[in-house]
Amino acid sequence: MKTNAVVIEDYGDSSKFKDQEIEIPDLKPKQILIKVAGSSVAPFDIAVRNGVFKNDFEIEFPAITGTDVTGKIVEIGSAVDKFEIGDLVCGMVGVKGFGAYSEYAILGQSKAAKVLENIPTEVAASLPMTAIPAYNALFDLGKLQAGEKVLIHGGTGGVGSMAIQLAKNAGAIVYTTAGNDFDKLKQLGATKVINYHEEKFEEELSNLDLVIDTVGHYTYKHSFEVLKKSGRIVSLVENPDDKLADKYQVEAMYLSGKFDNPLSKVVKLVSEGKVKINVQQTFPLNADGVRDAQDYYEDNHVFGKVVLLK
Ligand SMILES: NC(=O)c1ccc[n+]([C@@H]2O[C@H](COP(=O)([O-])OP(=O)(O)OC[C@H]3O[C@@H](n4cnc5c(N)ncnc54)[C@H](OP(=O)(O)O)[C@@H]3O)[C@@H](O)[C@H]2O)c1
């Protein structure tokens, strides 16, 4: 069986995307095939397109990029036991995987979760790459507890805006850094929003239990100053700085580990209205749409997500 897909035949800018028919490979035992209803733009997808990771892992061209996916299951592998044909799911396509910028995509069942009926497609399409890293960083690595104080950098981002809500929902006191949308971030649960254009967060905050860093560089280095002794810092973008960790007597971690997939927990919170995703702009899921969506993401301030819909 063949599918229409958006492919790149080489690394490069967004003009590389083109529509092409591709043969769908046979499913491995624990994989599911879904008819794609939506996807989204994640910074990771743009980095893969640009070849940022070409020395870390190889992708085969023509390659179908795109990580977030939602749609109905049309076929299941022989050992799939969590899902049935017809289930509506969302999930994260493996980096060397098939989809998500495609008519059909292949997902490992461990990377997927059922989508509850009241969740709009554009929200389901935005969930995996925001919910999974935010949850893993806060709870699996960061060990956040109710009543603790957490600083989440990049509050307007996909991961940051999700992390603010998950942390608040877990009973934490949440601080965030952002350049825009201050009132909206307070509505999501931030007690204090620090404007990174005008203020130094390290002069505003101290004695925190946890920092989640989605920004890196200066932001990462100065985050050590706001932690209490034995505090924790989890970065999504920087390897642990052991010297700073020793100096400030804190634990520094990088989010790369494999944890149980928390997606169904977050799907439930979204369905109950406890967690929201702001979809700033949608584009059609074809080569022109993917190009325009990634260009829009790179050229504009985005609060939340840019989504691709079939
Ligand atoms: N390690 C992992 O497993 C993992 C998983 C997911 C994501 N990531 C990485 O985590 C990062 C964030 O992902 P994302 O999807 O949330 O990206 P995103 O949606 O682009 O969000 C990044 C946010 O950071 C804000 N920002 C930029 N500079 C800042 C500063 N100095 N202080 C505070 N906020 C600042 C941006 O706001 P402006 O519009 O104002 O610039 C933007 O809202 C990306 O680099 C991504 O590749 C890593």
- The pLDDT tens digits of the residues spanning 249-258 come to 999 999 997 8
Return the ligand 1 atom nearest residue 302 CA: 39
**Do residue 183 and residue 195 come from a single domain?**
yes
Quote the ligand 1 centre to 106 CA distance (angstroms): 27
Question: Distance from the CA of 82 to the center of ligand 1, in angstroms?
Answer: 32
What mean pLDDT do residues 222-249 have?
A: 98
262 domain residue, yes or no: no
- Residue 94, pLDDT score: 87
Is 288 found in the same domain as 223? Answer: no
User: Based on the domain organization, do 79 and 143 belong to the same domain?
Assistant: no
- Mean residue pLDDT across the chain: 97
Domain count, the chain: 2
Average pLDDT rounded to a whole number, residues 170-182 = 98
153 and 40 within one domain: no
Asked whether residue 159 falls in the same domain as residue 100, the answer is: no
Which ligand 1 atom sits nearest the alpha carbon of residue 153?
33
- Contact 16/58 with Cβ under 8 angstroms? no
The verdict on 20 and 95 lying in the same domain is yes
Q: State whether 113 and 189 are in the same domain.
A: no
Tell me, yes or no, whether 48 lies in a domain.
Answer: yes
Instruction: Write out pLDDT tens, residues 9-41.
Output: 999 999 999 999 999 999 999 999 999 999 999
172 with 82, same domain? no
- The verdict on 288 and 229 lying in the same domain is no
30 & 116 share domain? yes
For ligand 1, atom 28, which residue shows the shortest CA distance? 215
Is pTM beyond 0.95 here? yes
Average pLDDT of the segment spanning 168-186: 98
Which pLDDT band, with edges at 50, 70 and 90, does 189 fall under?
very high
Which residue's CA is the nearest one to ligand 1's atom 4?
236
Ligand 1: which of 41, 195, 236 to mutate, most ligand atoms within 8 Å of CB?
236
Domain-located, residue 45: yes
What's the CATH code of the domain at 239? 3.40.50.720
Q: How high is the pLDDT of residue 95?
A: 83
What does the pLDDT average to over 170-180? 98
Whether residue 94 is found in the same domain as residue 27: yes
Average pLDDT over residues 49-59: 93
Q: Does any domain span residue 267?
A: no
> Domain containing 67: what range?
2-127+277-309
In tens, the pLDDT along 80-135 reads 999 999 999 999 998 888 989 999 999 999 999 999 999 999 999 999 999 999 99
Query: Are 11 and 109 part of one and the same domain?
Result: yes
In this prediction, residue 4 has a pLDDT band, given cuts at 50, 70 and 90, of very high
- Using a 6 Å CB cutoff, which residues line ligand 1? 42-44, 129, 133, 153-154, 156-160, 177-180, 196, 214-215, 219, 236-237, 255-256, 301
| 142 compared with 96, residue with greater pLDDT | 142
> Is 77 contained in some domain?
yes
